[in-house]
Amino acid sequence: MNRLLGAALAVLCLGSAAIAQETEQKTLVAIGLICDTAQQVGRYVNLYKEGASAEIAMQVVNKEENNPRACRITAAVFILGQAVETVSVSGGDVQIVEITIVAAQTKTGWRSTAPTVQYTAVFVEAQGV
């Protein structure tokens, strides 16, 4: 499970510098961490930055929120919104970004959803370091 979470975070981070620099609203597809609030993503990023594995960081946030699905890994179609915070990490910055989920992958395939605001972390690689 830890490898899946780490891989999902890596997939979300791949190409994210280009995503973060987009100014137009774009519909994107990714697998990665989503949380109900920006604060939950911030807590997750800080735990991960302090050395917690992706899985442990997510479990800690969910336990603190008393909600097993406050943060989760999912495959989704979403509209990228505005960055709400930037956290410095080794190798660059992580932007906490608002996204609007419009479809999600289920056991039976992709399903449209009512637009739902969630938050994610997008890695922005350091330039010239």
Per residue of the chain (129 residues), what is the pLDDT tens digit? Answer: 444 444 344 444 433 434 444 446 788 999 999 999 999 999 999 999 999 999 999 999 999 999 999 999 999 999 999 999 999 888 889 999 999 999 999 999 999 999 999 999 998 876 654
- What is the distance between the alpha carbons of residues 66 and 48, in angstroms, rounded to a whole number? 19
Distance set, CA 8 to CA 17, 49, 59, 75, 79 (Å): 16, 17, 15, 9, 18
Sign of CA dihedral 81, 38, 7, 4: negative
DSSP-derived 3-state class of residue 56: helix
Cα 56 to the center of its chain, rounded Å = 15
| pTM reported for the whole predicted model | 0.78
Q: Return the structure tokens found at 118.
A: 């969630």
**59-62 CB contacts, 8 Å cutoff, 24+ apart:** 61/35
DSSP-derived 3-state class of residue 122: strand
Domain ranges within the chain, ordered by starting residue: 2-125
- What is the distance between the alpha carbons of residues 68 and 120, in angstroms, rounded to a whole number? 17
